[in-house]
Amino acid sequence: MADILLPFAYDENSDEYVHISERISAKFHLICPQCKQAVIAKKGQINRHHFAHKHESTCSITKETALHEGAKYYLKNKLERDEPITIQCSQESIFDSKAKAMLNTLGINEFSILSNRFFNSEQNDFTVEKKIPGTNMIPDMLAVQKHSVNHQYWGWEIYVSHEVDEEKTKKYQQNGIPFIELIPEEKGKSDYKFTLRTYSGFELMKGSDHWYSDYTLLKKKEEIIGSEIHETLLKESFETIVTKLRRLNEHDLEESHLDFEDYFLPAIKSCYTTTIYNKEYGFGFNFSNSIRCKKINHYKSGKFWNIKFNNRYSSVSSFELLGRLLVHLGERDMTGGLISDQDKLVGVEFWYPSLKTEEMIKTEIMLPEERSWGDSESIYDYKIKRGRYGQFLTINNRIVKSPEHLLSLILNYFLKHFELTLILGKEKNSRYERVIGIEIKGLVDETRYRRLLFDAHIPYLINKTIDRMKNGEIHSYLENYINTQLNGLV
């Protein structure tokens, strides 16, 4: 057992299995699913995160079982949170003849696809090792469509040592139940890489007729410039990048009917400004003005805390502003939440590219007299809820402690390192301006920047490749064009 890192445990209090990638609450009473002995979570900086037996153990769990069960509960947690998983695919695993022909034409044998392209996890409930009603089949994980009279089922299978054989595949097909079988591989501290083994009963690549322009072209360019764009942002000044893009793109943009000065240059500049609006913007508030942010104060008014900008303006909703800011940066893998031992979000960790130095800036912003327990976790969702004592903010379903104070700390940090602009608005028939959004100039939105480089070439590339497809020259053309033109961007 000494060589096996246990990725999952059983919580006797909730009667549920817990994966090590989840937030491990102090309220959990965790035991090993195999030997029933007490275990503790270990989330260090060196080894892969895992559960360890509190006392010396002769537990007989195997590596295959640990991998299979760990991947299963990891997958369940991801889909329950409506987080798509990335699935590695090969041309041989695709059954759609049109999509397969396109892959073959482009010379692409391996690629990846997100699960939300063919499966809507938000509309399903998930159970592990449950028998499908009316059959004798027990998938590793069963998805059942919510609010469905006919109970549409979907099987998720994890292959480690026992594959979905021909007999089980026929049973899925005879009962009209789609399924997908994935091969797991441990990745990073607590994640998994999934590779497609087989599937049946659904279209893996929906809209394969439009797949070339909608997916393959972007993917092909991502493979070439995706790994280099980050380094470029760190090492190239804004003026140098603009000059290079101007020189390389004027001819292409002219042929694709995109004007460099009117479209491309302003779009590049916008990538160097991250803008966050309150949800209420557009719901009763009209834009009135924008001014430079010089000061941010956090103060108490009666029983409640609030934020004042420039000693004058209040926010439409501090909860909305903080929630939308953290989710926006979380979606771009620029921030993570720091959780206290009381299972509340008490701080955040930021990491972003600096345009002044050739390095990633990493910093923690924490509420005073608080400390986090474990590593930071991804931020993907926020909600404003109403409780007994008023509204409260949750991030990933965890309560945010003192959200106004935390927002003040974050924005004051940004104020020292970036240029902040307040976007002001007024309610109808009101003369008082309030903050409906904030622009953060200098915080690079790498996702928008990368997509802009892709989109600038799409019309031109598609028109050119259509001609070459007719002549059977598409593969050589793509290789030559992308390597000489797009690789030249960086």
- Considering only CA atoms, which of 396, 1, 375 is closest in space to residue 189? 375
Most confident of 63-67, 87-91, 227-231, 459-463: 63-67
Mean pLDDT within 449-472: 48
Question: Dihedral angle at the C-alpha atoms of 383, 386, 388, 389, nearest 10 degrees?
Answer: 90
pLDDT in tens, 382-441: 999 887 778 899 998 889 999 999 999 999 999 988 889 999 988 878 888 989 889 888
Is the Cα dihedral 206, 210, 214, 219 positive or negative? positive
Question: Which pLDDT tens digit goes with each residue over 68-109?
Answer: 999 999 999 888 888 888 888 888 888 877 677 766 765 667
Burial 53-75 (b: 16+ CB within 10 A, else e): beeebebebeeebbbbbbbbbbb
Is there a contact between 402 and 305 (Cβ–Cβ < 8 Å)? yes
Residue in 485, 463, 487 with CA at minimum distance from that of residue 222: 487
Q: Give the pLDDT of residue 356.
A: 54
pLDDT band at 281 (very low <50, low <70, confident <90, very high): very low
- Using the predicted structure, report yes or no on whether residue 318 has a pLDDT greater than 50: yes
pLDDT, position 148? 64
CA-closest candidate to residue 441, choices 268, 239, 272, 293: 272
Residue scoring higher pLDDT (229 or 176): 176
Q: How far apart are the first and last CA of the chain?
A: 49
Distances from the Cα of 390 to the Cα of 283, 304, 321, 385, 387, angstroms: 22, 10, 18, 8, 5
Q: Answer yes or no: are the C-beta atoms of 290 and 439 closer than 8 Å.
A: yes
pLDDT the model gives residue 445: 66
DSSP structure class, residue 38: B
Q: CB count, 10 Å around CB of 143?
A: 24
Q: Could you please report the per-residue DSSP string of 317-353?
A: -HHHHHHHHHHHHHHTT-EEEEE-TTS-EEEEEEEEE
- pLDDT for position 459: 43
Residue 310's pLDDT is what?
94
pLDDT in tens, 190-249: 889 999 999 998 888 765 444 444 444 444 444 433 444 444 444 444 445 445 444 544
Q: Whole-model pTM?
A: 0.48
Q: What angle do CA 141, 66, 179 make, to 5 degrees?
A: 25
pLDDT score recorded for residue 455: 53
Exposed, middle or buried: residue 205 (CB in 10 Å: 0-12, 13-18, 19+)? buried
Tokens of 456: 């600038």
Enumerate the domain spans of the chain.
8-61, 86-206, 210-271+445-489, 273-441
The CA-based angle 460-464-467, given to 5 degrees, is 155
Neighbour tally for 462: CB within 10 Å = 13
CB 177 within 8 A of CB 134: no
The pLDDT score that the predictor gives to residue 210 is: 42
Q: Which two tokens stand for residue 235?
A: 């090492």
H/E element holding 449? Answer: helix 446-470
Residues 6+ apart with CB under 8 A from 443: 272, 273, 274, 352, 414, 418
Q: Please report which helix (H) or strand (E) contains residue 404, including its range.
A: helix 403-417
Is pLDDT at 120 greater than 90 in this prediction?
A: no
Between residues 385 and 463, which one has the greater pLDDT? Answer: 385
The CA distance from 204 to 99, in Å, is 10
Tell me what the mean pLDDT of segment 298-306 comes to: 78
> pLDDT tens, 27-52?
889 999 889 999 988 887 678 888 98
For residue 464, pLDDT over 70 is answered with no
Please state, in angstroms and rounded to a whole number, the distance separating the CA atoms of residues 271 and 441: 9
- If you average pLDDT over every residue of the chain, what do you get? 76
C-alpha torsion angle, residues 282, 286, 292, 297 (rounded to 10):
-70
Look at residue 478 and tell me whether its pLDDT is greater than 60.
no
pLDDT score, position 57: 79
